[in-house]
Homo-oligomer: A and B are copies of this chain.
């Protein structure tokens, strides 16, 4: 399977990352050229993923197209900025302020227009500011109506561009509307548009105490909605965006097995924040770990795996894991 997989990363992995204390960032800022140049040093990389405004906007499309060509990268997705601009601090597609919501919709449409120019057919939509922090702060019913309306309007703008919704249970808001795979699937069912689906950020799934493998199966089952994958790791209590291999191992094995089984054949894209660590190294090591995990899964005959799953005897599940990982 390894040879078939296309690896990508968000370009920001090579840049400077800040947090609420160290707001200058732990490293040095880099321009988009330098970021592409850094990406080119990771031999395993086939594509990059660009944050709107930070890396790509209406003024630098040609420059990006050239960089993409120069380094022979695909663009795995564009991430619309609905969370960096302070204007969206209290919400974007579900903002209670009509002007703000209108801007957010326009921003999505703008990137729907840009994407095809970069041979990219998909946008990542993460509504990190659409939620709430306090009791009695928001009208939940109205917020969901706005979400439905905004998504419908965006999706209908161009049916050939996919909108891939990335859910997350919290952070930066204390509660986000699109929190779990289930809430997102319920929204998509209601929307009934073919070009809206789900970005499964593995770390967001872990954070919501989901078994991500079950979640991708549900995305497939409820309308073939698995559009994109984000890989990283965390300790289950926050969206740490660590390198793959930091903590979850067995969950990754099952996930990789099921991605193959359900026929997922799009990008394996990293979304990490190596605040204190070398970005090139962090990217490279995650891909190497992913490859090792894929090979571990591939090392066991799928019939044998299916047999274990069908029997349901957990002692055999543990033995299977030992065999996959330790070859004994």
Contacts and interface: CB of A to CB of B under 8 A. Distances in A.
Interface of A: 17-27, 83-86, 89-90, 96, 128, 132-141, 144, 169-172, 174-175, 177, 179-186, 189-190, 208-211, 213-214, 217-218, 220-222, 235-238, 240, 242-247, 249-251, 253-254, 257-258, 273-278, 281-282, 284-286, 288-289, 292, 295-296, 305, 308-310, 312-315, 317-322, 325-326, 328
A25 B87 CA distance: 11
A315 B90 contact: no
18 contacts: A22-B83, A23-B25, A96-B310, A134-B317, A135-B251, A136-B254, A136-B308, A140-B217, A181-B183, A183-B185, A185-B186, A186-B222, A209-B235, A237-B238, A244-B318, A246-B318, A285-B322, A289-B318
Contacts of A83: 21-22
A17 to B, nearest CB: 7
Contacts of A312: 90, 96, 137-138
Contacts of A190: 189, 222
B23 A18 contact: yes
Contacts of A179: 182, 209-210
A284 B257 CA distance: 26
Contacts of A182: 179-186
A74 B168 CA distance: 41
Given A140-B211, A174-B235, 5 more contacts: A18-B18, A133-B242, A136-B317, A138-B312, A174-B242
A273 B181 CA distance: 30
A133 B249 CA distance: 16
Given A135-B251, A175-B214, A251-B135, A245 B21 contact: no
A185 B208 CA distance: 17
B245 A322 contact: yes
A163 B139 CA distance: 29
A83 to B, nearest CB: 5
A120 B26 CA distance: 31
A325 to B, nearest CB: 6
B218 A275 contact: no
Nearest to A210: B179
A23 B314 CA distance: 22
